[in-house]
Amino acid sequence: MSELSWLASLLKSRNTIDSKIATLIGGPAQVGNVAEYIAVTIFRIQPDKDGKRRGYDGRFTYGSLAGQTVDVQWRPRRDGQLNVKIDAVPDYYLVFTGPELLPTVGNPWLIDAVYLFHAHQLLNALRERGVHISSGTSVTGPLWERAEIYPVAKNLQLLLSEEERQLLALFK
């Protein structure tokens, strides 16, 4: 019975933490909502409530990407999968990923890397390979590598400031 009591205590703690996260971000404490909050804060994305219906979360507000739509995703495990849309295509996908190999059981919410995919170029590359496009689209390693903006800047469309890099490092 002590294991059940311990589980009940852990769930109460989790509920308390989830409630605090929900209050902070202004929505349910789900990985996608937390990713959007982080992206809005670090990358100065302007959220767009109507954008949800159109397949994106908001728009970039500065630099060469200003005004471009972006769909934010967080893959707790870097598994090569991406939620790619064909009916409502954003301009970009901004994707946070955790490690390839997880240190524990489950999916801890860690950010090991960040990727920026130009959506139409990604769709073209996937179609050329004959990939089935869905919520679990398999994206090859070279496409991920070219899209990386953190920790190594391989995609130069969005260069991160030192402050942005330090903020992302908080989630390692």
pLDDT digits (tens, 9 = 90+) for 142-157: 999 999 999 999 999 9
126 has a pLDDT exceeding 70: yes
Q: What is the DSSP string of 101-115?
A: S-SSSS-----SEEE
Neighbours of 131 (CB within 10 A): 15
160 has a pLDDT exceeding 90: yes
Give CA–CA dist 148/39, Å, rounded: 15
- Return the half-sphere exposure (C-beta side, CA atoms, 13 A cut-off) of residue 165: 11
Q: Tell me what the mean pLDDT of segment 71-84 comes to.
A: 93
Q: What is the helix (H) or strand (E) element at residue 117, kind and residue range?
A: strand 113-118
105 has a pLDDT exceeding 80: no
Q: Tell me what the mean pLDDT of segment 9-22 comes to.
A: 96
Q: Where are the domains of the chain?
A: 28-169
Give CA–CA dist 84/54, Å, rounded: 13
Neighbours of 63 (CB within 10 A): 12
List the one residue out of 146, 150, 152 whose CA is nearest residue 164.
150
Q: Give the confidence band of 1 by pLDDT, cuts at 50, 70, 90.
A: low
Backbone phi and psi for residue 82, each to the nearest 5 degrees, phi listed first: -145, 145
**Burial per residue of 95-122, b for 16 or more beta-carbon CB atoms within 10 angstroms, e otherwise:** bbbbeeeeeeeeeeebbbbbbbbbbeeb
Q: Give the confidence band of 50 by pLDDT, cuts at 50, 70, 90.
A: confident
Q: Give the confidence band of 55 by pLDDT, cuts at 50, 70, 90.
A: confident
For position 128, what pLDDT does the model report? 94
106 has a pLDDT exceeding 90: no
**What does DSSP say about strands 81-82 and 69-75: parallel, antiparallel, or unpaired?**
unpaired
For position 107, what pLDDT does the model report? 78
